[in-house]
A and B are shown apart, each in its own frame.
Chain A
Amino acid sequence: MTEASIEAGYNFGYLDENTKRMIRRALLKAVAVPGYQVPFGSREMPLPYGWGTGGIQVTASIIGADDTLKVIDQGADDTTNAVSIRRFFNRVTGVATTEHTAAATIIQTRHRVPEAKLREGQVLVYQVPMPEPLFRLEPRVAETKRMHALADYGLMHVKLYEDIARHGAATTSYNYPVLVNQRYLMSPSPIPAFDNPKLDRMPALQLFGAGREKRIYAVPPWTEVKSLDFEDHPFQPARADAACVICGARDSYLDELIVDDSGKRHFVCSDTDYCASRPPVQDAAA
């Protein structure tokens, strides 16, 4: 792409070169120590915290002129946030954008991992609201750092124990804690537990950016990512027991929609690209 297609007055990728360099240094460290939360100097972005400032800064630091960008929000390419972020990068970098998982080199995501298998050379950038997996259990940041440093994660298992004692199963259905490379406890960002197995030994590079909390962490390709569990209560990813009304998929993660005032429910694929890539089912009711 040429400079001409970039919005006048902006550097390539919106951030200035020094900021990008600083973030890349944090990224290198994060990749070198899988699952470890690296502090970085998060910048003010032209959108509020919680809308993906961390993910955008990571994407802005790694994107190059020949990249192809895909942005999803809860799996969908066509929601406000996804559309806005895609347009933002198109304006400040001029790179090509796509809705097809296979065609993208960088995929920025909020709360989902695409259904299609990712391959080597692709980068998955997560927007993370809360990077600390222990924060609901241990309010002191200094103490959580110490727990990470000493790999002292008994407390997380106490939480799992309590879930099973009270409800008979682990009740965490999203943001389910994982152990990366048998060392660091990591929050996979609020993806559904259904997506957790996809993180394990994924061929693509996974980068996590938390803008408000000023933390970056990463999972290099082919790294072991294990969801915490007990031997006699193994991890079980949850999925609505239904088929997508549009494409009939029984293997994808589903969104539940209430379609009329009497509470009629429909389930549709949360990953719009995956859904569109499959032949539609004949509508039995029609």
Chain B
Amino acid sequence: MSELLTAEGLHLHFGKVAALDDVALEIHPGEVVAIVGESGSGKTTLLRVLAGLMPPQQGQVLYAGEDVHAMGEAARRRLMRSDWGFVHQNPRDGLRLRVSAGGNVGERLMAAGARHYGNIRAEATEWLKRVEIDPARIDDMPLQFSGGMQQRLQIARTLVTRPKLVFMDEPTGGLDVSVQARLLDLIRALVADLGLAVLIVTHDIAAARLLAHRMLVMRRGQVVEQGLTDRVLDDPQHPYTQLLVSSVLAA
């Protein structure tokens, strides 16, 4: 199977701090890859570099054979609203809070050229159902939604154009545990349904185990260990991974 996204030799330093130090990875179609590590280990920076939001100082990112950072901004934006999706940690960053739920879901469709109100609305209704939001609330503002609903709305908005690759930055951060569990279930079902490739950044080892096929462990800008999720978590090789796995609290 050919890779969807490959990155090699990524370097990025903020002054003396190495946020990325010779990072390489690849993502195959339909694969869920988790990046775990402590705060400041460079996971979010890696995500931003891979998504083309931030240029690396060295190295390149290829999407379907094309250099993400060499293509023009127009092409990158087109990618962002068609083939890619980005789910922010804080739904407020990914949603328009003063635009109704239906408008939020419809925005990507309209940006992609949909010009039929009835169809856009039908599609938005369908997606609200899929993410377990009552379709009767289609005209409500996301401001009136709970945190968990906002996050689910953001996912609906991102997935409505059926992207091939979705970047998720701590999608369950800031939600309480029962809501997190439902959201993880939902993401897992949608990912399997749509055959999405997902790159998920998280510090929550349990979430990574539930969702990811493969896992990369980052520390100080370096990938210290990578492999199948179960292998990494059940048989950690690197001392830092061992520490990380043993620090997970058992309920």
Contact = CB atoms under 8 A, between A and B. Distances in A.
B117 A164 contact: yes
Given A165-B121, A166-B139, A158 B107 contact: yes
Contacts of A158: 96, 99, 103, 106-107, 110
17 contacts: A150-B73, A150-B74, A152-B111, A155-B107, A158-B99, A158-B106, A158-B110, A161-B103, A161-B106, A161-B110, A161-B120, A165-B139, A166-B100, A229-B115, A230-B115, A231-B117, A232-B118
Contacts of B102: 161, 165
Interface size class of A (residues with CB under 8 A): 10 to 19
A140 to B, nearest CB: 14
A172 to B, nearest CB: 15
A50 to B, nearest CB: 28
Contacts of B81: 154
A154 B73 contact: no
B77 A152 contact: yes
Nearest to A151: B74
B108 interface: yes
Given A152-B77, A154-B111, 19 more contacts: A149-B74, A154-B108, A155-B107, A155-B111, A157-B110, A157-B111, A161-B102, A161-B110, A161-B117, A162-B100, A164-B117, A165-B100, A165-B121, A166-B100, A230-B115, A231-B115, A231-B116, A232-B117, A233-B117
A155 B98 CA distance: 13
A158 B81 CA distance: 15
Contacts of A152: 77, 111
A161 to B, nearest CB: 5
Interface string A148-186: 011010110110011011100000000000000000000
A254 B35 CA distance: 64
A229 B115 CA distance: 8
A144 to B, nearest CB: 14
A164 B99 CA distance: 12
Contacts of B118: 232
Interface string B117-147: 1101100000000000000001100000000
B117 A162 contact: no
A229 B110 CA distance: 11
B79 to A, nearest CB: 12
Nearest to B77: A150
**Which of A149, A165, A233 has the most CB atoms of chain B within a 10 A radius of its CB?**
A165
Contacts of B103: 158, 161-162, 165
Interface in A209-245: 229-233
A141 B132 CA distance: 37
A128 to B, nearest CB: 26
Contacts of B116: 230-232
Kindly list the 9 A-B residue pairs having the minimum CB-CB distance in the complex, ordered from nearest: A154-B111, A230-B117, A157-B110, A231-B116, A154-B110, A150-B74, A158-B107, A232-B118, A161-B103
B74 A162 contact: no
**Which of B102, B107, B117 has the most CB atoms of chain A within a 10 A radius of its CB?**
B117
B18 to A, nearest CB: 31
Interface in A5-50: none
Contacts of B117: 161, 164, 230-233
Contacts of A230: 115-117, 120
Given A154-B107, A231-B115, A162 B99 contact: yes
Interface string B172-209: 00000000000000000000000000000000000000
Interface string A56-95: 0000000000000000000000000000000000000000
A149 B73 CA distance: 10
A152 B81 CA distance: 10
Contacts of B96: 158
Contacts of A232: 116-118
Contacts of B138: 165
A243 to B, nearest CB: 33
Interface in B41-88: 73-74, 77, 81
Contacts of A157: 110-111, 115
B185 to A, nearest CB: 30
A152 B111 CA distance: 7
Nearest to B120: A161
A164 B120 CA distance: 12
